[in-house]
Structure 1
Amino acid sequence: MAGMSAAAEAKVSPGREFWLRRRGIQVRLFALSCLAFLAFPLSVVHDRNQALYVGLALFVLGYARVVIRNTPQLHTNRAPVTVAVTLICGLAMVPQLRYDWLSGLAFFSLVMLLINCPLRWWPALVVGHTVVFVAIAVGLLRVSADSVVILILLIAITSGVQVAIYNQIDTSMQLLQARAELTQLAVARERLRIARDLHDILGQRLSAVTLKADLAARMVDSAPDRAVTEMAEVAEVARDALAEVRAAVSGYRKVSLAVEAQSAEALLQASGVVVSVRGTLDDLPEPIEECAAWLIREAATNIVRHARARRCAIAVTRREGRFILEVHDDGVGAGLTGAPPSGTGLTGLAERVELVGGDLCVGPRDGWFVLRAELPQTVAPMVKG
């Protein structure tokens, strides 16, 4: 059914408020355009009693106020007194304007009632409305059976058309709102992807730049040729980082597990860490390989920046349809007694692992600090890294 409760619509987001306002304008235009049907009563008033112009004017004002008060938030019973007064005003003109006005009043009163009243009241309202108007037609106006049937059909058609119109408007508004929300979600996911990629890319590359620049600075006097070599490597790392940032922003960056393992090994060895890498690093679906590559990159970056480790072991195993990646180091994290501090890097890794349906565990174990990820060796078509 169309509409919402007052409590539900009281707390709306700016986007939802926009669609409510748009829906309200459509309903308002529809309801107010129905006033064109007053053209016939106006011609009758001119021929019979011009004093009825005042009654019709009051009826129009009341009708318009009910419509405006209940849009954009429909069916919230915001103008019950106005509805009652307007109906009394309309019924007071029935003895003068007779059946022609009664049939028009049946239409206008249904519009007001269904706009103003909550949805749960509608069945009782339509039945009660029909009974009252049929009673007036038969008891007061003494109309024929054919006229009574026409009146009942008019009420049934009016109520059915209104329900259909409200449902159509609500359906179209919900569709437009859903599209807007999906667009916002897509933008948010893309921002999150770029943030994760930039953190992981720049974290490792800037660590390598800092390490090599410090090494070159210490060798300027004692080994100038080696210092030049180190600075050339700094420039190469910076260029690679720039290319990777551009690819990450454009969304066309592909990460290789084998390449990241080699880069991590070179970075750790340059910082004085003894590294061992064992296991098969190929033959994985692209999303799984990309996730594992990011894990190795972030682990190596954290070891260089925070761990002060002397040894590191990267192990890859496959067991019962699962791809298991473990990165061990003997740095300061190995002595932690509680949960490791969480940061942007670990949060990003957890999100990546969750996206591919894996599990991530980080913490001290048996004298090592261990990052352990269990990833599926196959991935559903919908999952993307």
Structure 2
Amino acid sequence: MYQPLADKIRPKTLDDVVGQQHLLGKNGLLRRVIESGSIPNLIFYGPSGVGKTTVASIIAKQTDRKLYHLNATTAGIADIKAIIDELDTFLTPNGALVYLDEIQYFNKKQQQSLLEFIETGKITLIASTTENPYFYIYNAILSRCTVFEFKPVEASDMQRAVDRAFMLALDGRDIPVESGVASHIAQAVGGDVRKALGAVELLVSGAGENGITLADARQAAQRSNMRYDRDGDSHYDILSALQKSIRGSDPDAAVHYLARLLEAGDMISAARRMLVIASEDIGLAYPQCAAIVKACVDSAFQLGLPEARIPLAQAAIVMATAPKSNSACMAIDAALADIRAGKSGDIPAHIKDAHYGGAAKLGRGLTYQYPHSYPNHWVEQDYLPAELSGAKYYEFGPNKTEQTAKTYWDRVKGRK
């Protein structure tokens, strides 16, 4: 019977696992927990193909427990209960370890139903998820489990797995492998060991007269290093990285993360986020930036990809190299905080609408002073409700543009 290469070379010990040294290295906490033999309920969080299932299998073997592998996309509580029925029998003399893959697909009721089983200690639960557990797993489960994050495998570690896979897949056959094939696969699969082994198996089975070429490797692993899901963590992580790179004035990082979004075909998210950045992070330090970014975004949507990459890159670089100010964002957030706290008060009568019959009888606009009738188009009068008199929301930023405005108004308002 056919057995995938990934299963044939699945690691049997912690030392055989590639990557995850932060968890499984000599001083890794997860390794120490496993070696102690006292296994708590665990949640393994991380992308596909990085060793979550493999480590669960090793835990079961090292603790001499029977491993039950369930997938939350097809399993239900009835499957858990069926496992409980086998407990205290000759089938599970040392207890059961239940590996529940993709736990995020269990709804709230199903997740809560797990509690009665894990709290009694009848089973040890290891749940895995590719989604952020703090978003998708309910607190009742989280509070009873320890979360360990698995990360994409670095190319240097991946190379070991690829070399071993070629050795096993070739099985002594004289099939030449062009230089650079293994390193290309290790780099191109985006930290996914299963994907790397699949590429090796494909290349060996489809080897031509010239053996396994670099061109074949590029085709087998094309675009596979892209980890992107518009509804998942990677989507928000890339957008966050794009904004923080622009905010941090790093144009190289900014175009890198923009490229990742565009390569995934998500121009809309990139454009929308850059429109926000123009006002949130550049703001009043360079007010014209908002208009420039809007023009670049409009051009991008008129052009479409691939040409759209150029105006969007222009917008990203303009913002990354522009002076920064978040004073407008801070001002509106401070004002909103007061509103939400119930601090509003009545609008002063002199600035209420007075363009209707009877307004004067209500005292509307009687003492309003028209600023354009005064020197420098300014006159001192109250605009905030009496309850908020003296409230300060906007503070001039330290950049040249805002300081120039501050100097002007300090002079006009007689503050200097």
TM-score, normalised with respect to structure 1: 0.25
Bigger CA radius of gyration: 1
* Larger helix fraction of residues: 1
